[in-house]
Structure 1
Amino acid sequence: MRVLLVGDYPPPHGGVAVHVQQLHGFLRGRGVEVKVLDIGKGGRLAPDVIPARGAAQFGLRLARYVATGWTVHVHTSGNNPKSWVLAGMVGGVPGAKSPRVITLHSGLLPDYLAASAARRNFARLALSGYSRVVAVSAAVKDALVGCGVPAEKVEVLPAFCASQVRPGPVPAAVETARTRRRTLLTMAHHPSPVYGRTLMFRALRELAQTWPDVGLALFGPGLDSDEFIRDVREARVAGHLEVLGELEHAAALGLIARGDAFVRPTTHDGDAISVREALTLGVPCVASDVCVRPEGTRVFAAGDASDLARVLREAIAAGPVHASQVDAGPELLSLYAELGSHNGIKTSHEQGLGLGETRHAAQ
């Protein structure tokens, strides 16, 4: 079995990139020959990660793998034109012996497609070259089926590999933050308003009225921007923030594991990897009710800072959680084997399994 993953690879450590990295690690651990065609901005040298900068270089490298029968799995958001051009490009490369799979990650996808009939038509055409389409949530699947993608072609599978959640060493600043805060909240930051920074600041201000030493540890991009500094000043929360910048993913997991609760105050969402990571680590997780959340998540009314503060108090009072999470790795491994067998590609995975067993053998 040979699998080519196409998508962003860290850094930066965004949701799609993290999933690609974790799936890459899972497949390598299972002895699969796997490579990543990195279309992001990372540039880091990592085993079997191949940078593809520019359409020409990307097209040439992709064509080589398709021509030699690799299973190609694209990972993209689905909420912008560039994402759909990528989907159409990969799905349109001739190569009958090269199965194509795509995972669409973004919770913004339904709204993006709903805004235009042209977008829906293009999405349907772009996905026609794929053997299987993986949606990270039922809402994403419904939007794709609404475009005319056959329902039997779309599977719902959260983009999460529980087996790959491994906290690592943390910077000294994390240990310092933990030491000086009786209550430490953690949150993945992004400059996009979708991530709910200003709402979280309002809730933090309310929490500080009863927890004077409460801290919010923020990690991610955009923490030195003028907009961030303005929002901190206006909310008057500077004394309650631990600004940690962008962390290596293992260090971010180490931070989450040391926190009293993880917060996801988003205005839109897909299936957030960070929520599942927190729950896998046993950390209370509070998230907006903008989508279906994994079992164990405590939800608050989106946009309501007071409700967010209330639910955070409840989560911290209740303490650690114990909720098992999905592992997409075995499911996808079985899917690759199934698609390879349909194309006459013999895989080591199939040698020990009947075809009817491949999709469920690893569960």
Structure 2
Amino acid sequence: MRLLLVGDYPPPYGGVSIHVRQLHQFLRGRGVETKVLDIGKGGRPAPDVLPVQGAAAFGLRLAGFTSAGWVTHLHTSGNNPKAWVLAALVGSMPGPRSPRVITLHSGLIPDYLAASQARRVFARTALAGYARVVAVSPAVRDAVIACGVPAEKVLVHPAFCGSQVQPGPVTSEVEAARSRRQPLLAMAHHPSPVYGRKQMFRALKLLAETHPRVGLALFGPGTRSEEFIRDARELGVAGLLEDLGELEHAKALGLLSQADAFIRPTTHDGDSLSVREALALGVPCVASDVCPRPDGTRLFKAGDEHSLAQAVREALKAGPAQVMAPDVGPVLLDVYAELLPSGIAGAGTVNAA
């Protein structure tokens, strides 16, 4: 079996790029010949990762793999026009012996597709060239099927490889935060309002009334922006924050492993990688109720900082839930094997075992 993954590859450390890297590691560990076409910013060199910049270069590289019969698996958000143009390009690239699979990662897909008949028609057309469509949630599956995609080729599975999640190095900054704060909370930050920064800050102020040594460690882009600093000052939590900036993924996992709880206060969301990572590491997780969450997650009412603060208190008191982390790797191995001619599929399965 020869497999090509198409998608972003770290850095930067977004949910799609992290999943592509983890799936790549899983497949290589199983002996599957796997390469990645990195269509992101092209970060550090990695074995069998091929950065491509520009549509022409990407098309030429992709055509070489599909014409040679590689199973091709695209990973994309699906919540913007560029993602669907990419899906159409990969799905229609000539190569009759090259089965196509696509994972649609974004929880915003249902709203995106519902906004326009033209979008639904284009999505149906773009997905016609794929033998399997992997939706990260039932809501994404239903939205895709509503576009006219045959239900039998759509499967639901979180984009998560539990076998690849290991605690990373604990930096001196994290150790210092850990020694200062009790409890130490963690949150993945992004400047987009969707990530719920202001709501988290309001809830943190409430938590400080019952936990005066509480601290919130934030990691991700935008933590040193003027807007961030203003919000922290105006909402009275500047002294409760541990600003860790953008962390490499392994270091972010190191932080999670030291946190007393991980908070996901988003106003819109999909199947959050960071929520699943926290649970896989045995860390209590509190998240908004804007979408279905993994078993073991403690929910709060989105938009209600009092509900969030209370959910954090309850999570700290209860401690971590023991959950079984899902692993899409073995599932996808079976999917790839099913799509290959029987002789090749059998050989690939034996090689990957």
TM-score by length of 1: 0.95
Q: Cα distance, 1:346 vs. partner?
A: 4.2
Amino acid at match of 1:44: R
Amino acid at match of 1:208: A
> How many Å separate the matches in 2 of 1:2 and 1:86?
22
> How many Å separate the matches in 1 of 2:69 and 2:235?
55
Does residue 137 of structure 2 align to residue 140 of structure 1? no
> How many Å separate the matches in 1 of 2:105 and 2:351?
32
For 2:73, the equivalent position in structure 1 comes to 73
Does residue 36 of structure 2 align to residue 20 of structure 1? no
Does residue 266 of structure 2 align to residue 263 of structure 1? no
Amino acid at match of 1:5: L
> How many Å separate the matches in 2 of 1:84 and 1:93?
14
For 1:61, the equivalent position in structure 2 comes to 61
Indicate the SS of the match to 2:101: strand
For 1:39, the equivalent position in structure 2 comes to 39
| Structure 1 residues 179-198: aligned runs within 5 Å | 179-198=179-198
For 1:84, the equivalent position in structure 2 comes to 84
| Structure 1 residues 188-267: aligned runs within 5 Å | 188-267=188-267
Determine if contact 2:32/2:348 at 8 Å carries over to the other structure. Answer: no
Q: Cα distance, 1:305 vs. partner?
A: 0.6
For 1:345, the equivalent position in structure 2 comes to 344
> How many Å separate the matches in 1 of 2:39 and 2:103?
15
Indicate the SS of the match to 1:186: strand
Amino acid at match of 2:285: C
Q: Cα distance, 1:351 vs. partner?
A: 4.8
Q: Cα distance, 1:42 vs. partner?
A: 3.8
Indicate the SS of the match to 2:187: strand
Deviations, residues 282-327 of structure 1 (Å, cap 9, x unaligned): 1100001111111100000111110000000000001122101110
Indicate the SS of the match to 1:110: helix
> How many Å separate the matches in 1 of 2:151 and 2:112?
19
Amino acid at match of 1:190: H
Does residue 167 of structure 2 align to residue 158 of structure 1? no
Indicate the SS of the match to 1:95: coil
Q: Cα distance, 1:118 vs. partner?
A: 0.6
Amino acid at match of 2:82: K
Does residue 331 of structure 2 align to residue 331 of structure 1? yes
Determine if contact 2:5/2:74 at 8 Å carries over to the other structure. Answer: yes
For 1:277, the equivalent position in structure 2 comes to 277
> How many Å separate the matches in 2 of 1:330 and 1:155?
14
Amino acid at match of 2:344: I
For 1:320, the equivalent position in structure 2 comes to 320
Amino acid at match of 1:294: P
For 2:5, the equivalent position in structure 1 comes to 5
Does residue 97 of structure 2 align to residue 97 of structure 1? yes
Indicate the SS of the match to 1:209: helix
Amino acid at match of 2:115: A
Indicate the SS of the match to 1:216: strand
Q: Cα distance, 1:41 vs. partner?
A: 1.3
Structure 2 gap ranges (5+): none
Amino acid at match of 1:212: P
For 2:177, the equivalent position in structure 1 comes to 177
Number of equivalenced pairs: 353
For 1:358, the equivalent position in structure 2 comes to none
Deviates further, 272-281 or 226-235: 226-235
Q: Cα distance, 1:350 vs. partner?
A: 3.8
> How many Å separate the matches in 2 of 1:218 and 1:102?
32
Give % identity.
70
Indicate the SS of the match to 1:3: strand
Determine if contact 2:232/2:238 at 8 Å carries over to the other structure. Answer: yes
Determine if contact 2:2/2:34 at 8 Å carries over to the other structure. Answer: yes
Deviations, residues 135-189 of structure 1 (Å, cap 9, x unaligned): 0000000000111111111000100000000111122101100011111000111
Amino acid at match of 2:183: T
> How many Å separate the matches in 2 of 1:120 and 1:186?
38
Deviations, residues 4-34 of structure 1 (Å, cap 9, x unaligned): 1111111111111110010000001001110
Q: Cα distance, 1:211 vs. partner?
A: 1.2
Structure 1 gap ranges (5+): 354-361
> How many Å separate the matches in 2 of 1:347 and 1:153?
21
For 1:357, the equivalent position in structure 2 comes to none
Deviations, residues 335-355 of structure 1 (Å, cap 9, x unaligned): 11111136x6345344599xx
Amino acid at match of 2:331: E
> How many Å separate the matches in 1 of 2:252 and 2:349?
37
Amino acid at match of 2:338: E
Indicate the SS of the match to 1:73: strand
Deviates further, 316-325 or 135-144: 316-325
Amino acid at match of 1:156: V
Amino acid at match of 1:108: L
Q: Cα distance, 1:226 vs. partner?
A: 2.0
> How many Å separate the matches in 1 of 2:344 and 2:276?
34
Amino acid at match of 1:335: V
Determine if contact 2:32/2:351 at 8 Å carries over to the other structure. Answer: no
CA RMSD of aligned residues (A): 1.4
Indicate the SS of the match to 1:332: helix
Amino acid at match of 2:39: I
Indicate the SS of the match to 1:212: coil
Runs of 4 or more, structure 1, over 4 Å off, are none
Q: Cα distance, 1:96 vs. partner?
A: 0.7
Call closer, same or farther: CA 1:30–1:263 in 2, change over 3 Å: same
TM-score by length of 2: 0.97
